[in-house]
Amino acid sequence: MSADQQPAHGGARAVGAARRHGVQTMFTLSGGHVFPLYDGAVKADPPMRIVDVRHEQTAVFAAEATARLTRSPGLAVLTAGPGVTNGVSAITTAHFNGTPLVVLAGRAPDSRWGSGSLQELDHPPLLAPVTKRAWTAHSPADVSPAVDEAFALASARHRGPVFLDISLEAVFGAVTDQALRLEGERPPPGRVRSPQGAAADQAGERPDPEAVEGIARLLAEAERPVLVLGSDVWLDGAEHAARAAAESLGLPVIANGQGRGILPGGHPLLVTRARAIALGQADLVIVAGAPLDFRLGYGRFGGRDGAPAARVVHVADAKDQLATHCELAGSAAGNLAAFFADLADAAGAGSPRRAADWLPRLRQACQQAAEADAGLLRSDAQPAHPLRIYGELTAQLEPDAVVIGDGGDFVSYAGKYLEPQQPGCWLDPGPYGCLGTGLGYAIAARLARPQAQVVLLLGDGAAGFSLMDVDTLVRHGLAVVMVCGNNGIWGLEKHPMRFLYGYDVAADLQPGCRYDQVVTALGGAGELVTDPAGIGGALRRAFDSGVPYLVNVVTDPQDAYPRSTTGV
Ligand SMILES: Cc1ncc(C[n+]2csc(CCOP(=O)(O)OP(=O)(O)O)c2C)c(N)n1
Ligand SMILES: [Mg+2]
């Protein structure tokens, strides 16, 4: 029999299509409805790596982080029913992060639909609001084109998750290439090729030149401009163009999400530490690659210390991402690297109205903030101040370390005090703010960056969502350093509740709980640190250990991260 006449089941066809889109790893948790996808992965040439986890949420978070780190789409495979519903928060996280992610799922058989098969649930209506598209493949012949379309759609601007479930008949059923050819390239019933999914979209449109010139004019008029770089600048491959534009235009920069590291920590234009003054006193704020959401004051800037409201420019990778809830002085949409190159050209070097003291003032504010915190970064207080952990950690981090934050106050401190040296080295959950990303993100980071340090910062509350997946790290031989800021409370809830009500409830955890022993029991290693003087040594042992290692630092529950907003 020629290869042409060799039948291939839907699972093998799905794996083949995923591989054509660059997928190297399938993240999953087993279920009979998806066995053929495993069979397809095992028998592919070369086989596709399968990373099997302990909770579907971890599988999807791992696929999401793979995409955010490699900028190539991630793949999670979920079994029907509870497998899918367990993945929903992570799929939603990808939706909020604009992450190119494909989730393939099993589905009860079409032939028995309505008769009460095991885990018979019509998934797409559940997933539709949080995906670019959610639909079903009903026959083996549908699978390849549908998976192909799912990846094209997930990867096209504005990126996001795509969900496809495959009925039992379609995933187990086999079809030959010859039969497929004879059938012709007919689209499967009910499938409409989305214009967004067309491969031609990949290059992306150059933003409208007039819009870019308009922004250049606003820049020329601005006395105190600020540029905010968000996650999409990295995801869209615009980090070099963004840095070049910021440098040639001399723009103070604030980094947000995965925009962190585009200007390395210590860069003279990086003023994230003076964020409140920069955004409060600016007269022009250009936000690129980030939504104007709660993290950015809903797009209202200026007005601080008597300054007038700032003009706001929003730049996004796709038109439908441009803010409509606030007044914009300018906007542009499309390929972000092209945007920055065109802006640098259009604006030129001259900025006649720029206040000579603007950047020096911001730099001075950064300097003052750093000096004000220097004491806490070295604090000997017992229980430890969370900042002492960051004082010790920064001294041991290599420039390409991947740092992941999963938690409340503990991670807010990290966002403020750890300034990445390279882009693509920082992962927070993004605007959906879902706790529990930690182990999934860490698994992905270890695989995506085999040589780099991977550090997972965990609040003790956050740790509870995914710590069981240390088992996955151990089984797959993935060494990660975990640092738990163990204040014995849901800090980011306890303190605000006390502030609002004068008391708190449902906000306490076990003080000094031995999360390090959980990791040890699962086959990793760890230690409890109660004396801040021991933090540095414990971190060194963790980095040297070559195994999943949790440094469990008891921190001060009285300490509340000084925040001006809870995001509500
Ligand atoms: C899935 C999920 N559940 C609940 C919350 C609400 N929440 C936000 S921060 C937080 C407290 C986190 O506590 P911990 O991880 O211990 O960090 P800490 O604030 O104590 O440093 C909670 C419960 C959330 N963001 N996500
Ligand atoms: Mg806590």
Residue 565 belongs to some domain of the structure = no
| Residue 491 CA to ligand 2 centre (angstroms) | 5
Instruction: Show the domain range for 295.
Output: 209-361
Pair (34, 162) in one structural domain: yes
pLDDT confidence of residue 481: 98
| Residue 535 CA to ligand 2 centre (angstroms) | 18
Pick from 409, 487, 558 the residue to mutate for probing ligand 1's pocket: most ligand atoms within 8 Å of its CB. Answer: 409
Taking CA atoms only, the protein residue closest to ligand 1 atom 9 is: 408
Is 564 exposed, middle or buried (CB count within 10 Å of its CB: 0-12, 13-18, 19+)? exposed
| Residue 534 CA to ligand 2 centre (angstroms) | 20
| Residue 166 CA to ligand 1 centre (angstroms) | 35
Pair (7, 87) in one structural domain: yes
| Residue 493 CA to ligand 1 centre (angstroms) | 7
Last residue of a domain, one of 361, 389, 411: 361
Pick from 493, 509, 558 the residue to mutate for probing ligand 1's pocket: most ligand atoms within 8 Å of its CB. Answer: 493
Residue 560 belongs to some domain of the structure = no
Q: Which residues line ligand 1 (CB under 6 A)?
A: 407-410, 433-436, 459-462, 485, 487, 489-493
What gap in Å lies between CA 261 and CA 423, rounded to an integer? 4
Pair (170, 240) in one structural domain: no
Instruction: Name which of 284, 326, 334 is nearest 307 in CA terms.
Output: 284
Structure-token match 């008769």, residue found? 115
Number of the ligand 1 atom closest to the C-alpha atom of 407: 15
Pair (534, 395) in one structural domain: yes
Residue 449 belongs to some domain of the structure = yes
Pair (435, 549) in one structural domain: yes
Ligand 2 (ion): residues with CB under 5 Å are 459-461, 487, 491
Pair (312, 392) in one structural domain: no
Residue 7 belongs to some domain of the structure = yes
Phi, psi of 342 (to 5 degrees): -70, -35
Strands (E), 194-243: 225-229
Number of the ligand 1 atom closest to the C-alpha atom of 485: 21
Hey, is 216 helix, strand or coil?
helix
What gap in Å lies between CA 514 and CA 164, rounded to an integer? 40
Residue 87 belongs to some domain of the structure = yes
For the record, the structure tokens of 512 come out as: 């000094």
Pair (539, 390) in one structural domain: yes
Pair (20, 112) in one structural domain: yes
- Cβ-contact 158, 236 below 8 angstroms: no
DSSP output for 134-152: EEEE-SHHHHHHHHHHHHH
- Cβ-contact 427, 258 below 8 angstroms: yes
Q: State the chain's mean pLDDT as an integer.
A: 94
Residue 370 belongs to some domain of the structure = no
Secondary structure element (H or E) that encloses residue 332, with its range: strand 330-333
**Which positions of the chain have pLDDT values less than 50?**
187-202, 568
pLDDT confidence of residue 204: 61
Is 210 exposed, middle or buried (CB count within 10 Å of its CB: 0-12, 13-18, 19+)? exposed
| Residue 293 CA to ligand 1 centre (angstroms) | 20
Pair (99, 245) in one structural domain: no
Residue 368 belongs to some domain of the structure = no
| Residue 205 CA to ligand 1 centre (angstroms) | 39
- Cβ-contact 119, 142 below 8 angstroms: no
Indicate which CATH number applies to the domain containing 267.
3.40.50.1220
Number of the ligand 1 atom closest to the C-alpha atom of 433: 25
pLDDT confidence of residue 205: 87
For the record, the structure tokens of 311 come out as: 């003009």
Taking CA atoms only, the protein residue closest to ligand 1 atom 12 is: 408
- Cβ-contact 274, 366 below 8 angstroms: yes
| Residue 66 CA to ligand 1 centre (angstroms) | 23
pLDDT confidence of residue 199: 38
- How would you write 426-455 as a 3-class SS string? EECCCCCCCCCCHHHHHHHHHHHCCCCCEE
Instruction: Name which of 128, 203, 209 is nearest 165 in CA terms.
Output: 128
Packing angle between helix 10-20 and helix 35-43, nearest 10 degrees? 60
Pick from 490, 499, 556 the residue to mutate for probing ligand 1's pocket: most ligand atoms within 8 Å of its CB. Answer: 490
Q: Is the peptide bond before 383 cis (omega within 30 degrees of 0)?
A: yes
Number of the ligand 1 atom closest to the C-alpha atom of 509: 16
Residue 561 belongs to some domain of the structure = no
pLDDT confidence of residue 565: 60
> How many domains is the chain partitioned into structurally?
3
Last residue of a domain, one of 147, 181, 203: 203
pTM of the model: 0.95
Last residue of a domain, one of 168, 186, 203: 203
DSSP 8-state secondary structure symbol assigned to residue 309: B
What gap in Å lies between CA 62 and CA 64, rounded to an integer? 5
Number of the ligand 1 atom closest to the C-alpha atom of 434: 26
Pair (283, 399) in one structural domain: no
- Cβ-contact 564, 297 below 8 angstroms: no
What gap in Å lies between CA 370 and CA 6, rounded to an integer? 66
Pair (392, 343) in one structural domain: no
- Cβ-contact 34, 78 below 8 angstroms: yes
Pair (10, 124) in one structural domain: yes
Indicate which CATH number applies to the domain containing 99.
3.40.50.970
